[in-house]
Amino acid sequence: MKSWVFRGIFLMIAGFFLVLSGCSKTEKYPLGESGGTLTIGTLNEPASLNPLRLSFTASTDIHEKLFLTLHRFDKDMNIVAGLARSWKFSEDFKEVTYVLRKGVKWSDGQPVTAEDVKFSFDMMRDPGIKYARSGGLQFVEKVEVVGPLAVKFVFNRVYSDELFDTGIMVLPKHIMEKLSAANSADFDADPVSDGPYRVEEWVRGDRLVLAANPDFYKGKPALDRIIFKFFGDEASLMAALQNGTVDMTNDLSPQYALKVQGDPNLASIEYPGRSFTFIGWNLKSPLFSDVNLRKAFALSIDQTALINDVLMGKGKQANGPFLPTSWAYDQDLKPQPYDPEQAKALLAELGWKERNREGFLAKGPKQVLELNLLLAQGQPVQEATAVLIREQLKGIGVKVNLAVVDARTFIQRIRGGQYDAMMFSWKNDFKVDPTAVWHSAPEKGIYNFILKYSNPSVDSLIDMGLATLSRRKAKDIWVKFQQVINTEMPATYLYVPDVVTIIYKGVTGPAQDARGPMASLDEWWIPAAQRRGEAMASASVSPAAVVPPPSQPVETAVPERNQPEKPAPAAAKPQPVATRTEQPAPSRPVAAAPVTPPKPAAVNPQDLLVAEATPTPVAVAPVVEEPKEPEIPPTEPEAVKIVSPAYPETARKAGITGRVFVKILVGPDGKVKDAQVIRGIGYGCDEAAVGAAMKAQFKPGTKNGQPADTYITIPYPFMK
């Protein structure tokens, strides 16, 4: 009888095994004033509006206004519902099933379904597509449609950041499958979308106009239109901000941003950056094989001076391969001190004591302590940083030669080891996964050729960190990882630049946001009394946006604006890439005075690196091998003894209630071998739950008829 009681308790607990379900609340934009146009000035025009063609470092701000992801981050970096209204993990955490919202439609009126999700995943995993971000899907084995609005992701291993990888941007299957290639020019320029905004017009080299989606599931966004206005240089962009034809930009360097911060009509908002800049040392070079030499160079670099003089104070010190905003960042990791005297002492211990006639350290007349610092052209902030570092190293007697080359040559020289030191910026994602850069296994560390670093203990820490379900335990592993990197110093980290946004003060809604300056763009609005410059934003039309002759429909960014008519000489009329607005042609064409075409944007070395590496999904074996088709179905452990956890007095007094979910490993003998909190509530409840779990006893689970290690998850309630 007692056994049945325990079994009943166990089955009751099993009813709570639907863990980590997403929010299913009905979301609507708040009621309020709507209308108006926001013009955003930028130096970076997207190459395509097709998410499959996003580069590794490209901003997703525009794409996220056009396409929904399964889930998204809120301003506090919590994962909340998106296209999916809810999600549910399997008990062994090898599967997660999403349930999509009802009634979400593509801009052509077709419903968004689970088939779209599976199709999008398959396209992203297709090596022929060369999706730059496919590496984030390497642990997803497949996606299955389990209902019209339900789709299941199946993992080939269990790891802590599964939700980071499955929140993909979804594409319309009924459109994409009819195209000859995933990079169809038609879809690239004028995609069928399901986000809060739709493409109204795209005039290459001039502007991209997004119009509010009246059928969006949250309702119509407040702003009628968002115009992305493209500029060829910072001076032109700054002038547009000052004269009111542009309302906002994120693309001004610190020097230009400071020039406009005194404008009474503009506000400045600073956001934490997601890219860190570092110097990588050629570890294969005999000169840099000694960690003490690398340490001496690091001690001679003044990070504070770099931030103040190059970034104008708009940045943070970088102390390692994780961003300071990451949950895995080691808060106790101290920045490398600036100590030129200690640097000189270390160099003296290595035999660099004498100086030549030029004042540089030398061993004899020919062996000068000299290095070539490699960097890619078109990166003005990096170039300014390199110049300052050259002066700082000169102060301790080191000769530095700057080698500024084009991005492709830069990558080729890194691959070939043709450098002493190189300067690089790396953009980190929100997900914690240093595998691609730091793992020494070629199939995993696909970008490890940047530093050519190899350490078996680091490889082991990376593998363990990714496979650990408990974020608290994973944090301990990532701290050790950072400590090893900090000790061996294969790279010297310099800074993380802030993102400075300059915006018109009449815009309501922008605030500091860990996601970035434009993540909440669909929630902004401009009070009617504060709307300015809508006519100005379209009054000056660039040559790329010349209105076609009377025989063609007029293509305008904002149709309700009154545009002045001016006589124009005959000129070539480049056609807009996409348009959805047609009006009767005016009595005479309108054209602007010729303008010098903008210079092509510099190539980001990280994008080129990713493109050349063309990462394809890596097949990773499951952590625990299981027969795919066992002769005898496996069985779950059955509870023999369940111990209730003691309710900590501190938690009781604080009114803390909830459930602590504990993942338990039951051994072949029915005893608990391990217990990990996968979702806790703190205040001592997590520890109490683990303690109770370790005292539980079970009839062991089986595989192929034999007792075997089996994982189960138990939620321990803490209620008053």
The pTM of this model reads 0.68
Q: Six-digit token pair at 273?
A: 């950056």
**Residue 103 domain-assigned?**
no
Amino acid 564: pLDDT: 35
Strand 370-376 with 421-427, pairing? parallel
CATH number of residue 493's parent domain: 3.10.105.10
Question: CA 50, CA 199: separation in Å to the nearest integer?
Answer: 12
DSSP track, 669-707 = TSBEEEEEEEE---TTHHHHHHHHHHT-EEEPPEETTEE
Contact 700, 710 (CB under 8 A): yes
150 lies in a domain? no
Domain that holds residue 347: 275-497
490 within some domain:
yes
167 Cβ contact partners less than 8 Å away, ≥ 6 residues apart: 69, 70, 71, 72, 79, 82
Tell me what pLDDT residue 603 has: 58
Instruction: Give the per-residue pLDDT at 14.
Output: 33
pLDDT, one tens digit per residue, over 312-321 is: 888 999 989 9
Least confident of 41-55, 600-614, 683-697: 600-614
When divided into structural domains, the chain yields a total of: 2
Query: What average pLDDT score do residues 503-519 get?
Result: 82
User: What sections of 197-313 are H helices per DSSP?
Assistant: 234-243, 254-260, 291-299, 303-309
**How many Cα neighbours within 13 Å face the side chain of 594?**
5
Query: Is 525 a domain residue?
Result: no
Over the stretch 161-172, which tens digit does the pLDDT of each residue have? 788 889 999 999
289 phi/psi in degrees, rounded to 5: -75, -20
The pLDDT of residue 480 is above 60: yes
Task: Tell me the pairing of strands 672-679 and 710-718.
Answer: unpaired
Query: What does the block give as tokens for 524?
Result: 């902004």
pLDDT tens digits along 195-242 = 999 999 999 999 999 999 999 999 999 999 999 999 988 889 999 999
Q: For residue 142, give Cα distances in angstroms to 153, 176, 540, 623.
A: 6, 20, 51, 17
pLDDT score for 633: 66
| Confidence band for 606, pLDDT divided at 50, 70 and 90 | low
Q: State yes or no: pLDDT of 594 exceeds 70.
A: no
Average pLDDT over residues 673-690: 81
Helix (H) / strand (E) element for 173: namely helix 173-176
> Among 438, 463, 497, which residue terminates a domain?
497
Is the pLDDT reported for residue 618 higher than 60?
no
- Which pLDDT belongs to residue 631? 52
487's enclosing H/E stretch is helix 471-488
Confirm if 310 and 381 have CB atoms less than 8 A apart: yes
The residues facing 225 across adjacent strands are 37, 211
Q: What is the pLDDT of residue 219?
A: 92
Label residue 76 exposed, middle or buried (CB < 10 Å: 0-12, 13-18, 19+): exposed
Would you say residue 553 lies in a domain?
A: no
Residue 418's Cα: distance from chain center in Å?
30
**pLDDT at residue 561 above 50?**
no
**Residue where a domain stops, chosen among 464, 497, 530:** 497
Got the DSSP string for 233-257?
Answer: SHHHHHHHHHHTS--EES---HHHH
Q: Are residues 638 and 491 in the same domain?
A: no
Beta bridge partners of 267: 503
Residues 6+ apart with CB under 8 A from 26: none
Burial 116-135 (b: 16+ CB within 10 A, else e): bbbbbbebbbeeebbbbbbb
**What is the biggest distance separating any 2 CA atoms in the chain, rounded to whole angstroms?**
98
Q: How would DSSP label each residue in 104-171?
A: -B-TTSPBP-HHHHHHHHHHHH-TTT--TTGGGGTTEEEEEEEETTEEEEEESS--TTHHHHH-PBP-
The residue-averaged pLDDT of 16-39 equals 63
Last residue of a domain, one of 497, 517, 538: 497
Residue 364: count other Cβ atoms within 10 Å of its Cβ: 8
3-class DSSP assignment, residue 83: coil
Residue 394 pLDDT level (bands cut at 50, 70, 90) = very high
Q: How confident is the model at residue 128 (pLDDT cuts 50, 70, 90)?
A: confident
Whether the CB-CB separation of 265 and 505 falls below 8 Å is answered with yes
pLDDT value at 26 more than 60 = no
Segment holding 410, helix H or strand E:
helix 407-415
Question: Residue 5 in contact with residue 12, Cβ under 8 Å?
Answer: no
Helix (H, G, I), strand (E, B) or coil at 228: strand
How confident is residue 530, by pLDDT bands cut at 50, 70 and 90?
confident
Burial class (CB in 10 A: 0-12, 13-18, 19+), 145: middle
Q: How confident is the model at residue 20 (pLDDT cuts 50, 70, 90)?
A: very low
Distance, CA of 199 to CA of 107 (rounded, Å)? 10
Is 444 a member of any domain? Answer: yes
Give the torsion sign (CA, 525, 503, 243, 42): negative
Residue 482 host element (H or E): helix 471-488
> What percent of the chain lies above the pLDDT cut of 70?
80
In angstroms, rounded to a whole number, what is the distance separating the alpha carbons of residues 246 and 235? 13
19 confidence band (pLDDT: 50, 70, 90): very low
User: Which is higher by pLDDT, 112 or 536?
Assistant: 112
Q: Indicate whether 349 belongs to any domain.
A: yes
Decide if 98 is inside a domain: no
Those residues with Cβ within 8 angstroms of residue 673's Cβ, 6 or more apart along the chain or in another chain: 665, 666, 667, 709
Mean pLDDT for the chain overall: 79
Q: Is the pLDDT of residue 383 over 70?
A: yes
Average pLDDT over residues 437-443: 88
pLDDT for the residue numbered 525? 85
How far, in whole angstroms, is CA 664 from its chain's centroid? 32
In this structure, the answer to whether residues 492 and 637 fall within a common structural domain is no
pLDDT at 273: 85
Record the tokens describing residue 152, joined without a space. 């299941």
